[in-house]
Structure 1
């Protein structure tokens, strides 16, 4: 079973980002009025407050998001590995690489028809990045894509996912900090991530971090073992860079809007790593 905490050891060596492409998501949001936890970084402590108790997303928007977020299962490395995936274009899903690493069969469940019956669809791996912990999955399932936007420090957001492969949960989250994360094991891992005041749990890896307008602003992939209510999400730049490296046309236009265009049928299947990555 793949845990959201599977890669947290990589996250504990943090470097605060001195600058970022988007001025609203650089650096620190500052010490919260009542910090409940800290993480030591090479540039000093990173403070985190308690997660928000609620996030305001209107029902229509939440319904749209829910149709675009699906449970992800991987088989072939012992116990079934559960995670979450979401659509970024017609026929293409984003998931966490560590959830599907080494798997011989990967599938999603999609609720179809008026009976609300879940139907399983196989997916093909057409993009895989161990360094970013992202996977691009091709599917014939009718999953509507979500828009992508930039995150903002201090914003109240939500992580959507399927803890333990069960029902969809919406976990309120606040973007506390923007950092570079380096691996403790000397593997050269370096990611641009958000530190979240949020309860990110097993099965939510690969789930979208969405703002109150329903746009994806990050991808949840890890939590800190032993410290409650601290999670991590890759930011928009990491997601966009991964899409481009996987052969998808992804860019930010002159108005700051994210544009994703893809022809899934033209993408080739790629290896999906080793079971040891889980």
Structure 2
């Protein structure tokens, strides 16, 4: 009898990741949805982030579901309650309120991602329950138009196969840590899919669990990470678009400026900017430093409260 050949290192890594994170992944559907699983049935994905039943998913997955229910990998189905959602990052938190311990995935540090790094996506695409795909990190710091028309910034690009139904599922690194929340694909494009970084997901989830909503100040800019010219390996946020009626435009900021500091906080990533604005009182002036034509300039901007999304 022929001995079973050992698996290659790549296969061993993917299998280990799936066994570690897979039990935390769920499918999300409206209550009363037929239990018969067929391909092409609409649904979304999510995953437990705490043993007491808190789940992360996409805002667009649960936005129009009045009574969500989640199904675990073992087939058990539970009702879930919406704790809160943040349409501007397309993230939402649900909770299964049961007196039992759920398998929870661990959030990793997305700021340490590198191009070419192995990643694994787990979800429920096109109604196929619990599907795994693998690929690499193809790009970092992307900007994406979300399902509601909002601009989502600092997005991870991957070539791991994602399809409708993967939304809200985890993107996992080789250590078995979630480094992104799968969010979208581009129709008609091959091997181009996106995920929200775990750093963004972690602080959004914490605020939603605490308060049920995020009341953040609003500058009215679309930005992307870019290196700052000079000998030091520093980064800032390049302003790609400025809302002509927004606080940034009224304060004098322009497209092409590189945001490097707001208040007393150096800004090296979109996550740092989000965290600052989530704690800054709307209506209170703040000093904003930008690099313009290789010179540092300071402007005073009066952030407003983020307007309610139109959807």
Instruction: Give the structure-2-normalised TM-score.
Output: 0.56
Once the 2 structures are TM-superposed, how far is the Cα of residue 176 of structure 1 from its aligned partner? 1.5
Change (3 A) 1:55 1:222: farther
- Equivalent runs, 1:249-264 vs 2, <5 Å: none
The answer to whether the aligner puts 1:240 opposite 2:197 as a matched pair is: no
Once the 2 structures are TM-superposed, how far is the Cα of residue 175 of structure 1 from its aligned partner? 0.8
Once the 2 structures are TM-superposed, how far is the Cα of residue 74 of structure 1 from its aligned partner? 2.9
CA distance in 1, matches of 2:147, 2:82: 27
Name the SS for the 1:181 alignment partner. strand
Which residue is 1:25 aligned to?
none
Once the 2 structures are TM-superposed, how far is the Cα of residue 140 of structure 1 from its aligned partner? 3.1
Which residue is 1:72 aligned to?
28
Runs of 5+ unmatched residues, structure 2: 1-9, 33-39, 212-307
Question: Does the aligned pair in 1 maintain the 2:45–2:124 contact within 8 Å?
Answer: yes
- Equivalent runs, 1:129-144 vs 2, <5 Å: 129-140=86-97, 142-144=101-103
Larger of the two Rg values belongs to structure: 2
CA distance in 1, matches of 2:78, 2:189: 36
Which residue is 1:62 aligned to?
18
User: Alpha-carbon deviations, 1:31-87, whole Å to 9, x = none?
Assistant: xxxxxxxxxxxxxxxxxxxxxxx66426454223111011111369xx974011101
- Structure with more relative contact order (C-alpha pairs < 8 Å, separation 6 or more): 1
The answer to whether the aligner puts 1:202 opposite 2:160 as a matched pair is: no
Which residue is 2:46 aligned to?
85
CA distance in 1, matches of 2:42, 2:55: 17
- Cα RMSD of the aligned pairs, angstroms, is 3.1
Name the SS for the 1:89 alignment partner. coil
Total equivalences in the alignment: 194
2:124 to 162, 168, 176: 162
Which residue is 2:79 aligned to?
122
Instruction: Give the structure-1-normalised TM-score.
Output: 0.62
